[in-house]
Amino acid sequence: MAVSGVWFLRVGLMAWIILWQGPVGITETLSGPVDIILVFGSYLIPLAVLELYLAAGRSPRIALKIAAAALVSLAALYTAVGVFGTVAFMWGPYL
């Protein structure tokens, strides 16, 4: 998970721009509030989701398993939006 930090950053930025329909909180120098959270969190957020998923898998509590499944589903949806944006807007014009 930690090896893909750059990928998570790129996908996270593109998903954010698509969902907010513009670069809200993002600057050209990557010094905006969203930039700072995503740059710092590009390694930590995926690891935190993985840890919560693994902890829910070890837990006997059904509510925790459902919450982890919902979190992973939301993360997958956010990633799908970011992958679409990355391909369509970053790579697509150069293909």
- Measured N-to-C along each axis, helices 5-20 and 62-85 cross at an angle, to the nearest 10 degrees, of 80
pLDDT average, residue stretch 64-79: 96
| Letter string b/e over residues 10-28, b meaning 16 or more CB atoms within 10 A of that residue's CB | bbbbbbbbbeeeeeeebee
Band of the pLDDT at 94, cuts 50, 70, 90?
Answer: confident
User: For residues 49 and 72, is the Cβ–Cβ distance under 8 A?
Assistant: yes
- What's the whole-number mean pLDDT along residues 51-67? 96
85 Cβ contact partners less than 8 Å away, ≥ 6 residues apart: 11, 14, 15, 17, 18
The residue ranking higher by pLDDT, 4 or 19, is 19
Q: Work out the average pLDDT over 56-61.
A: 96
The pLDDT value recorded for residue 30 is 85
- Whole-prediction pTM: 0.86
Mean pLDDT value of segment 69-84: 96
